[in-house]
Protein backbone atom coordinates (compact mmCIF):
# COMPACT_ATOMS: atom_id res chain seq x y z
CA UNK A 1 0.00 0.00 0.00
CA UNK A 2 3.01 2.27 -0.16
CA UNK A 3 1.99 3.68 -3.51
CA UNK A 4 -1.42 4.54 -2.10
CA UNK A 5 0.30 6.43 0.70
CA UNK A 6 2.17 8.44 -1.94
CA UNK A 7 -1.15 9.37 -3.53
CA UNK A 8 -2.53 10.53 -0.19
CA UNK A 9 0.57 12.69 0.35
CA UNK A 10 0.21 14.13 -3.17
CA UNK A 11 -3.44 14.99 -2.50
CA UNK A 12 -2.59 16.70 0.76
CA UNK A 13 0.27 18.66 -0.81
CA UNK A 14 -2.04 19.89 -3.55
CA UNK A 15 -4.70 20.97 -1.08
CA UNK A 16 -2.20 22.56 1.29
CA UNK A 17 -1.20 24.91 -1.53
CA UNK A 18 -4.69 26.44 -1.64
CA UNK A 19 -5.52 27.18 1.97
CA UNK A 20 -8.46 29.55 1.52
CA UNK A 21 -10.36 27.02 -0.61
CA UNK A 22 -9.55 24.24 1.85
CA UNK A 23 -10.78 26.30 4.79
CA UNK A 24 -14.05 26.97 2.95
CA UNK A 25 -14.56 23.30 2.10
CA UNK A 26 -13.93 22.21 5.68
CA UNK A 27 -16.18 24.98 7.00
CA UNK A 28 -19.01 23.63 4.87
CA UNK A 29 -18.40 20.00 5.85
CA UNK A 30 -18.15 20.81 9.55
CA UNK A 31 -21.39 22.79 9.38
CA UNK A 32 -23.23 19.96 7.64
CA UNK A 33 -21.99 17.23 10.00
CA UNK A 34 -22.68 19.33 13.09
CA UNK A 35 -26.14 20.20 11.85
CA UNK A 36 -27.02 16.61 10.95
CA UNK A 37 -25.97 15.30 14.36
CA UNK A 38 -25.06 16.80 17.68
CA UNK A 39 -22.89 19.95 17.52
CA UNK A 40 -20.89 18.66 20.49
CA UNK A 41 -17.89 16.70 19.13
CA UNK A 42 -17.89 14.52 22.25
CA UNK A 43 -21.34 13.27 21.29
CA UNK A 44 -20.88 13.21 17.51
CA UNK A 45 -18.26 10.79 16.22
CA UNK A 46 -18.66 11.97 12.61
CA UNK A 47 -17.96 15.55 13.69
CA UNK A 48 -14.90 14.46 15.68
CA UNK A 49 -13.58 12.69 12.60
CA UNK A 50 -13.97 15.77 10.40
CA UNK A 51 -12.31 17.95 13.05
CA UNK A 52 -9.38 15.53 13.25
CA UNK A 53 -9.01 15.57 9.45
CA UNK A 54 -9.27 19.38 9.39
CA UNK A 55 -6.40 19.58 11.89
CA UNK A 56 -4.14 17.62 9.53
CA UNK A 57 -4.74 20.35 6.93
CA UNK A 58 -3.92 23.04 9.51
CA UNK A 59 -7.43 24.48 9.47
CA UNK A 60 -7.48 27.17 12.19
CA UNK A 61 -9.51 26.42 15.29
CA UNK A 62 -11.46 29.63 14.74
CA UNK A 63 -12.83 28.30 11.44
CA UNK A 64 -13.77 24.98 13.04
CA UNK A 65 -15.53 26.71 15.94
CA UNK A 66 -17.31 29.16 13.62
CA UNK A 67 -18.79 26.34 11.52
CA UNK A 68 -20.00 24.49 14.61
CA UNK A 69 -21.49 27.66 16.11
CA UNK A 70 -23.29 28.29 12.84
CA UNK A 71 -24.84 24.82 13.05
CA UNK A 72 -25.80 25.40 16.68
CA UNK A 73 -27.58 28.57 15.64
CA UNK A 74 -29.77 26.62 13.27
CA UNK A 75 -28.28 27.89 10.02
CA UNK A 76 -30.78 27.78 7.18
CA UNK A 77 -28.35 26.49 4.54
CA UNK A 78 -29.00 22.94 3.42
CA UNK A 79 -26.63 20.77 1.44
CA UNK A 80 -26.98 17.49 -0.42
CA UNK A 81 -24.21 14.90 -0.26
CA UNK A 82 -23.43 13.66 -3.75
CA UNK A 83 -21.02 11.18 -5.28
CA UNK A 84 -20.03 11.23 -8.93
CA UNK A 85 -18.02 8.57 -10.73
CA UNK A 86 -16.08 8.92 -13.93
CA UNK A 87 -13.16 8.01 -16.14
CA UNK A 88 -10.00 9.77 -17.23
CA UNK A 89 -7.39 8.84 -19.84
CA UNK A 90 -6.19 5.26 -20.32
CA UNK A 91 -8.41 3.44 -17.83
CA UNK A 92 -8.08 5.90 -14.97
CA UNK A 93 -11.01 5.96 -12.55
CA UNK A 94 -12.24 8.82 -10.41
CA UNK A 95 -14.70 9.27 -7.54
CA UNK A 96 -15.86 12.79 -6.68
CA UNK A 97 -17.58 13.55 -3.35
CA UNK A 98 -19.47 16.83 -3.12
CA UNK A 99 -21.65 18.91 -0.83
CA UNK A 100 -23.99 21.24 -2.68
CA UNK A 101 -27.00 23.50 -2.32
CA UNK A 102 -27.59 23.36 -6.08
CA UNK A 103 -27.50 19.85 -7.52
CA UNK A 104 -27.88 20.95 -11.15
CA UNK A 105 -25.00 23.40 -10.89
CA UNK A 106 -22.67 20.87 -9.32
CA UNK A 107 -23.50 18.12 -11.81
CA UNK A 108 -22.89 20.51 -14.69
CA UNK A 109 -19.56 21.71 -13.29
CA UNK A 110 -18.31 18.20 -12.53
CA UNK A 111 -19.32 16.98 -15.99
CA UNK A 112 -17.50 19.92 -17.58
CA UNK A 113 -14.34 19.30 -15.53
CA UNK A 114 -14.28 15.72 -16.81
CA UNK A 115 -15.19 16.53 -20.40
CA UNK A 116 -12.77 19.42 -20.90
CA UNK A 117 -9.85 17.33 -19.71
CA UNK A 118 -10.19 14.10 -21.63
CA UNK A 119 -12.55 12.33 -19.23
CA UNK A 120 -16.22 11.52 -18.97
CA UNK A 121 -18.73 10.93 -16.19
CA UNK A 122 -20.04 7.45 -15.63
CA UNK A 123 -23.19 6.14 -14.03
CA UNK A 124 -23.49 5.40 -10.33
CA UNK A 125 -21.58 2.23 -9.51
CA UNK A 126 -19.42 2.27 -12.62
CA UNK A 127 -16.25 2.99 -10.65
CA UNK A 128 -16.90 2.68 -6.92
CA UNK A 129 -16.75 -1.13 -6.92
CA UNK A 130 -13.02 -0.84 -7.66
CA UNK A 131 -12.37 1.15 -4.48
CA UNK A 132 -12.50 0.35 -0.77
CA UNK A 133 -13.59 2.79 1.92
CA UNK A 134 -10.63 2.93 4.30
CA UNK A 135 -9.57 4.67 7.50
CA UNK A 136 -6.00 5.95 7.18
CA UNK A 137 -3.71 7.35 9.86
CA UNK A 138 -0.19 8.66 9.40
CA UNK A 139 2.00 9.70 12.33
CA UNK A 140 5.49 9.65 13.85
CA UNK A 141 6.75 8.64 17.26
CA UNK A 142 6.24 4.87 17.19
CA UNK A 143 7.54 2.00 15.10
CA UNK A 144 5.26 -0.18 12.99
CA UNK A 145 5.96 -3.12 15.31
CA UNK A 146 4.98 -1.08 18.38
CA UNK A 147 1.74 0.02 16.72
CA UNK A 148 0.93 -3.54 15.64
CA UNK A 149 1.44 -4.73 19.21
CA UNK A 150 -0.81 -1.93 20.46
CA UNK A 151 -3.58 -2.84 18.02
CA UNK A 152 -3.36 -6.49 19.05
CA UNK A 153 -3.54 -5.55 22.74
CA UNK A 154 -6.64 -3.45 22.05
CA UNK A 155 -8.13 -6.25 19.89
CA UNK A 156 -8.41 -3.93 16.89
CA UNK A 157 -8.17 -5.50 13.45
CA UNK A 158 -6.31 -3.41 10.87
CA UNK A 159 -5.71 -4.04 7.19
CA UNK A 160 -2.07 -3.06 7.17
CA UNK A 161 0.61 -1.16 9.11
CA UNK A 162 3.58 0.24 7.22
CA UNK A 163 6.57 2.37 8.09
CA UNK A 164 7.86 4.81 5.49
CA UNK A 165 10.17 7.81 5.84
CA UNK A 166 9.80 7.84 9.65
CA UNK A 167 6.01 7.81 9.29
CA UNK A 168 3.83 4.92 10.41
CA UNK A 169 0.75 4.39 8.25
CA UNK A 170 -2.24 2.44 9.56
CA UNK A 171 -4.96 1.23 7.19
CA UNK A 172 -8.16 0.01 8.86
CA UNK A 173 -11.83 -0.62 8.24
CA UNK A 174 -13.92 2.60 8.24
CA UNK A 175 -15.86 1.55 11.34
CA UNK A 176 -12.57 1.19 13.22
CA UNK A 177 -11.59 4.85 12.80
CA UNK A 178 -12.44 5.91 16.34
CA UNK A 179 -11.14 2.70 17.93
CA UNK A 180 -7.75 3.18 16.20
CA UNK A 181 -7.67 6.87 17.14
CA UNK A 182 -8.44 6.15 20.79
CA UNK A 183 -5.87 3.35 20.98
CA UNK A 184 -3.21 5.63 19.54
CA UNK A 185 -4.20 8.40 21.96
CA UNK A 186 -3.74 6.00 24.87
CA UNK A 187 -0.18 5.50 23.62
CA UNK A 188 0.45 9.24 23.41
CA UNK A 189 -0.14 9.66 19.66
CA UNK A 190 -2.45 12.63 19.16
CA UNK A 191 -0.81 14.46 16.24
CA UNK A 192 -1.36 13.07 12.75
CA UNK A 193 -0.10 13.93 9.29
CA UNK A 194 -3.17 12.11 7.95
CA UNK A 195 -6.33 11.01 9.78
CA UNK A 196 -9.26 10.48 7.48
CA UNK A 197 -11.70 8.19 5.74
CA UNK A 198 -10.85 7.86 2.09
CA UNK A 199 -11.57 5.66 -0.93
CA UNK A 200 -8.51 3.63 -1.89
CA UNK A 201 -8.26 1.96 -5.28
CA UNK A 202 -7.93 -1.82 -5.14
CA UNK A 203 -5.43 -1.60 -7.98
CA UNK A 204 -3.50 1.42 -9.15
CA UNK A 205 -2.33 2.13 -12.68
CA UNK A 206 0.52 4.12 -14.14
CA UNK A 207 0.09 6.58 -17.01
CA UNK A 208 2.62 7.77 -19.53
CA UNK A 209 3.82 11.36 -19.19
CA UNK A 210 1.27 12.91 -21.55
CA UNK A 211 -1.69 11.01 -20.12
CA UNK A 212 -0.61 11.78 -16.55
CA UNK A 213 -0.31 15.49 -17.32
CA UNK A 214 -3.83 15.47 -18.73
CA UNK A 215 -5.10 13.43 -15.80
CA UNK A 216 -3.59 15.77 -13.22
CA UNK A 217 -5.15 18.73 -15.02
CA UNK A 218 -8.53 17.00 -14.76
CA UNK A 219 -8.05 16.25 -11.04
CA UNK A 220 -7.04 19.85 -10.38
CA UNK A 221 -10.14 21.10 -12.22
CA UNK A 222 -12.35 18.87 -10.08
CA UNK A 223 -10.59 19.81 -6.84
CA UNK A 224 -10.98 23.50 -7.67
CA UNK A 225 -14.78 23.26 -7.79
CA UNK A 226 -16.33 24.93 -4.76
CA UNK A 227 -18.82 22.11 -4.15
CA UNK A 228 -16.27 19.28 -4.38
CA UNK A 229 -15.00 18.01 -1.03
CA UNK A 230 -12.80 15.09 -2.02
CA UNK A 231 -11.51 13.45 -5.19
CA UNK A 232 -10.29 9.83 -5.20
CA UNK A 233 -8.62 8.00 -8.07
CA UNK A 234 -6.64 4.91 -9.07
CA UNK A 235 -3.58 6.54 -10.67
CA UNK A 236 -0.12 6.15 -9.16
CA UNK A 237 1.17 9.72 -9.16
CA UNK A 238 4.63 8.68 -7.97
CA UNK A 239 6.76 10.72 -5.62
What is the C-alpha radius of gyration for the chain, rounded to an integer number of angstroms? 18
Find the domain containing 24 and state its range.
Answer: 2-72
Asked if residue 133 belongs to a domain, the reply is no
Asked if residue 44 belongs to a domain, the reply is yes
Separation of alpha carbons 124 and 204, rounded Å: 20
Asked if residue 154 belongs to a domain, the reply is no
* Orientation of helix 61-72 relative to helix 19-36, angle to 10°: 30
Separation of alpha carbons 7 and 145, rounded Å: 24
Asked if residue 151 belongs to a domain, the reply is no
Eight-state DSSP code of residue 127: S
Asked if residue 157 belongs to a domain, the reply is no
Half-sphere exposure of 48 (CA within 13 A, CB side): 11
Half-sphere exposure of 20 (CA within 13 A, CB side): 0
Residue 226's CB is within 10 A of a number of other CB atoms, namely 14
Kindly report the CATH number assigned to the domain that includes residue 56: 1.10.10.200
pLDDT at 166: 86
CB 138 within 8 A of CB 5: yes
CB 39 within 8 A of CB 71: yes
Asked if residue 202 belongs to a domain, the reply is no
pLDDT at 50: 94
Asked if residue 196 belongs to a domain, the reply is no
pLDDT at 200: 94
Contacts of 165 (CB under 8 A, 6+ apart): none
* Total domains present in the chain: 1
The pTM for the full model equals 0.90
Q: What is the distance in angstroms between the CA of the first residue and the CA of the last residue of the chain?
A: 14
pLDDT at 165: 81
pLDDT at 84: 98
Asked if residue 21 belongs to a domain, the reply is yes
Half-sphere exposure of 33 (CA within 13 A, CB side): 21
| Tens place of pLDDT per residue across the chain (239 aa) | 555 666 676 666 665 556 888 999 999 999 999 999 889 998 999 999 999 999 999 999 999 999 999 998 877 889 999 999 999 999 899 999 999 999 999 999 999 999 999 999 999 999 999 999 999 999 999 999 999 999 999 999 999 999 988 899 999 999 999 999 999 999 999 999 999 999 999 999 999 999 999 999 999 999 999 999 999 999 998 65
pLDDT at 232: 95
Amino acid sequence: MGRKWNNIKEKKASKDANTSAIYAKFGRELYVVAKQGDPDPELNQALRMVIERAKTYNVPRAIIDRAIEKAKGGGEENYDELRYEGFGPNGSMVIVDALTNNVNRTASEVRAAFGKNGGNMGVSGSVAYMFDATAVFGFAGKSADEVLELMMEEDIEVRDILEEEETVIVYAEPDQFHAVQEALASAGITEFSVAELTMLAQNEIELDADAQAQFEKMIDALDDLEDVQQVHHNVDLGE
